[in-house]
Amino acid sequence: MNNDDSEGPGAARKTLRVLEALTEHSRVSDLANATGLPKSTVHRLLRVLVEMGFVGTDEAGEYRIGSRAVRLANRVIDRFDPTAQAEPALSRLLHETGCTVHFALNSGGELFYTRKKEPDKPYRMSSRVGMRLPWHSSAIGKAALAAMPPGELEGLLDTLALEARTPYSLTTREKLVARIEDARHTGYALDDGENEDGVRCVGAAVRDHTGAVIGGISISTLTLEHSMDDLIALAPTVMSAANAVSTTLGHLA
């Protein structure tokens, strides 16, 4: 019986384990410990990866991710569509809550709906794909603001015109910051008729592979259909969906 695993699925798995470990380690001994592979096996796999350009070495002789792997990763990221990747989680959220589901992305400092999924109900929300949504009065906006690092948050707050979209909109920075702090503690944000009179929403932020906040997910319902307590009870489901999308996009919590 041939025990040589230099080819086949076993070798592929070992190679990928070494390549993944290289994101945190650079010495053969550390790579061997991280992967559980013998040093001789790690050496052999590294030699092949270096020959192919997926791994490089520095002046100290330590290993690093090579230029070919970086180019490949960049091409994948460039072709990665967050909205398409979010689709399974959005569908589950629609099924689990029976509410209108929105997915929005930050583009140039503005939020835009990129996906909307509606339940089979006699009414339709006025939102539409491509519509801009305000940071200060939407659940997604406040959730995304709450998830941002302080510097990014302050810079964005300085640009916001806190217009009164309804009588319940937050029109002062002090009130908005207080709600952002609430969202930071709970992990979700609420919109109780602030963006559209008669509509309630709960939203959670979505992050990409770098940890950056790229947008968020929300569910929307009529105030006549769900109380705020009802909506808060659904918040963990929304947060779970947002976390699932973030994980799909490569974010490691």
pLDDT at residue number 6? 47
How far apart (Å, rounded) are the C-alpha atoms in residues 144 and 242? Answer: 11
Q: Which two tokens stand for residue 219?
A: 């569910």
CATH number of the 9-77 domain: 1.10.10.10
pLDDT at residue number 68? 86
In the chain, ranges of CATH 3.30.450.40 domains: 80-248
- The alpha-helical segments, DSSP class H, found in the chain are 9-21, 28-35, 39-52, 67-78, 82-97, 139-147, 150-157, 173-186, 228-248
pLDDT at residue number 72? 79
How does strand 132-133 pair with strand 110-117?
Answer: antiparallel
> Is residue 76 exposed (0-12), middle (13-18) or buried (19+ Cβ within 10 Å)?
exposed
pLDDT at residue number 252? 82
CATH number of the 80-248 domain: 3.30.450.40
If the chain, 253 residues long, is cut into consecutive pieces of 10 residues, what is the mean pLDDT of each piece? 51 88 88 91 90 87 85 70 92 96 93 94 89 94 96 93 94 95 97 95 95 96 94 97 94 81
Model confidence, pTM: 0.74
How far apart (Å, rounded) are the C-alpha atoms in residues 58 and 237? Answer: 47
How far apart (Å, rounded) are the C-alpha atoms in residues 70 and 93? Answer: 34
pLDDT at residue number 211? 92
In the chain, ranges of CATH 1.10.10.10 domains: 9-77
Q: What is the signed CA dihedral for 90, 95, 96, 97, rounded to 10 degrees?
A: 90
